Amino acid sequence: MMLAAFADPVFDSQRTFRELLQAMARPAVPRRLPVLPPSPAPVMPEAMAIVLTLCDATTTLWLQQPNAEVAEHLRFHAGLRLADQVQQADFALIDDPTSMPALEGFARGDLRYPDRSASLIVQVEGFRTDRGPRFAGPGIRHTEMLAIEGLQDGFWRQRAALSAQLPLGVDLYFVAAQHVVAMPRTTRLLEG
């Protein structure tokens, strides 16, 4: 039996979109998502809220662990197309960040069209704002401290390597515990 999506698709997606805009405007700061729709495993409701808000029939999504139930749910509720290869995807849904593909494999745009890059929705274990690395960049007044739990070793080194290619890169949404943290490509990890 097909799970429902947003109870009120128009207003719920608008509310979620506003939070996603705020998350991008204030990188590295957890934002509470206003609506968590039902979602087939292994997709977390937080990730599903983002997919239902940002994806439609004009976008492609790559699933790290595709299965028939998730594919059917996404096609029915969002009308999107699934990509077979990471470099073909407008969006990617990562449900196991410890085994995700290298960031450089995703679409990073090109110099004429840097917006033709992928946005990754990464399910993680949680966030800590009282410890962790410090981040800086547009939207961050001085620095923000944030630990993202459950990422693979070397993730931030991969991200730093992509930062050298600005304006090319990928944008990241991390989700856990009813929250989203955005990391646009312009947000940088500070050393030490």
Q: Does 3 reside within a domain? A: no
Tell me the average pLDDT across 20-36.
97
Q: Does 76 reside within a domain? A: yes
pLDDT-derived band at 33 (thresholds 50, 70, 90) equals very high
Tell me the average pLDDT across 160-177.
94
CATH of residue 92's domain is 3.40.50.11310
Q: What is the pLDDT of residue 191?
A: 74
Where helices occur in the chain by DSSP H, the ranges are: 9-25, 45-54, 68-78, 155-163
Q: What is the pLDDT of residue 21?
A: 98
What six digits make up the tokens of 190? 């500070």
48: phi then psi, degrees, rounded to nearest 5: -65, -40
Q: What is the mean pLDDT of the chain?
A: 95
Domain count of the fold of the chain:
1
Tell me the average pLDDT across 146-166.
92
Q: Which domain holds residue 143?
A: 9-185
Q: Does 192 reside within a domain? A: no
Q: How far is CA 121 from CA 99, 111, 143, in A?
A: 14, 24, 23
pLDDT-derived band at 3 (thresholds 50, 70, 90) equals confident
38-93: pLDDT as tens digits: 999 999 999 999 999 999 999 999 999 989 999 999 999 999 999 999 999 999 99
Q: Does 4 reside within a domain? A: no
What six digits make up the tokens of 142? 């001085």
Q: Does 135 reside within a domain? A: yes
Instruction: Report the share of the chain in percent with pLDDT over 70.
Output: 99
Distance CA 61, CA 40 (A): 16
Tell me the average pLDDT across 145-151.
96
Q: What is the pLDDT of residue 192?
A: 53
Distance CA 46, CA 9 (A): 15
Q: Does 92 reside within a domain? A: yes
What six digits make up the tokens of 156? 């931030």
Q: Beta strands 144-145 and 81-82: pairing type? A: unpaired
Whether the per-residue pLDDT at 163 is higher than 90: the answer is no
Q: What is the pLDDT of residue 4?
A: 86
Q: Beta strands 144-145 and 134-136: pairing type? A: antiparallel
Q: Does 1 reside within a domain? A: no
pLDDT-derived band at 131 (thresholds 50, 70, 90) equals very high
> Which value, to the nearest 10 degrees, does the dihedral of the CA atoms of residues 78, 33, 141, 137 take?
-30
Scored b (16 or more CB within 10 A) or e, 156-188 reads: eebbeebbeeeebbbbbbbbbeebbbbbbbbbb
pLDDT-derived band at 143 (thresholds 50, 70, 90) equals very high
Query: What pTM does this model have?
Result: 0.95
Whether the per-residue pLDDT at 169 is higher than 90: the answer is yes
SS3 content of the chain, % helix, strand, coil (to 5): 30, 20, 50
Terminal alpha carbon distance of the chain:
51
| CA count, 13 A, side-chain hemisphere, 29 | 19
Q: Does 154 reside within a domain? A: yes
Tell me the average pLDDT across 131-150.
95
Whether the per-residue pLDDT at 20 is higher than 60: the answer is yes
